[in-house]
Amino acid sequence: MVGTLACGNIGQRSRKLADRFKGACDGQHFLIPFNDVNHWALTVVKPNEEVVYYMDPLKRSIDSQEWTEVVDNAIVLYKSTMNTPMLKKKVSWENMAGIPMQKGSVDCGLFVMRYMKEICQDKEVQFASKWARRGNLEYTEDDINQTKVEFAKYFMSHNAI
């Protein structure tokens, strides 16, 4: 499902997100790119497990209390509508410190797209263990250029006039 959560107050955005979680299977991941004042990061949510993975290409911890509130409330609402009790007192946020870090000042969106691609291609869904701890993983300029070309081809084939 594709759409936007940018409009509305915290409660409205939480309800929209909770609606998207409906029908989630155990272990299902929701990949949600997040823009906070001209910078892209990736939020990966496992609503049934009440776990959120945060991936900032600058390797910062999340500092948007509003976004954490939207996601946390969405998980609580989702669990409530499914008549499923919360497993924990609060949603667990995990900062993925081992992700490849952007070197430039404008590549955050490309890095987020690359993270999503790798997660989707990983049949074992091992991204959390691969990226949980600090490491020396990095994307080369060729990796980022490949991402640009792949997405340009995709958008041209699906949206060209």
One pLDDT digit (tens) per residue for the chain, 161 residues: 455 676 789 999 999 999 999 988 888 999 999 998 889 999 999 999 999 999 999 988 887 899 999 999 999 999 999 999 988 899 999 999 899 999 888 899 999 999 999 999 888 878 888 888 777 788 888 988 998 898 889 888 887 65
Output the pLDDT for position 160: 62
Output the pLDDT for position 161: 59
Continuous segment of H or E residues that includes residue 41: strand 40-46
3-class DSSP state for residue 26? coil
> 10-159 — its CATH code?
3.40.395.10
CA distance 96 to 73: 22
Q: What is the 3-state secondary structure (H, E, C) of 114-125?
A: HHHHHHHHCCCC
Q: What letter does residue 62 receive in the DSSP assignment?
A: P
Sequence-distant (6+) residues with CB within 8 A of 25 are 48
Q: Give the start-to-end residue ranges of the domains of the chain.
A: 10-159
Output the pLDDT for position 122: 85
- C-alpha angle 105/106/112, rounded to 5°? 110
Asked whether the beta carbons of 34 and 55 are under 8 A apart, the reply is no
Residue 84 tokens read as 């499923």
CA distance 55 to 107: 14
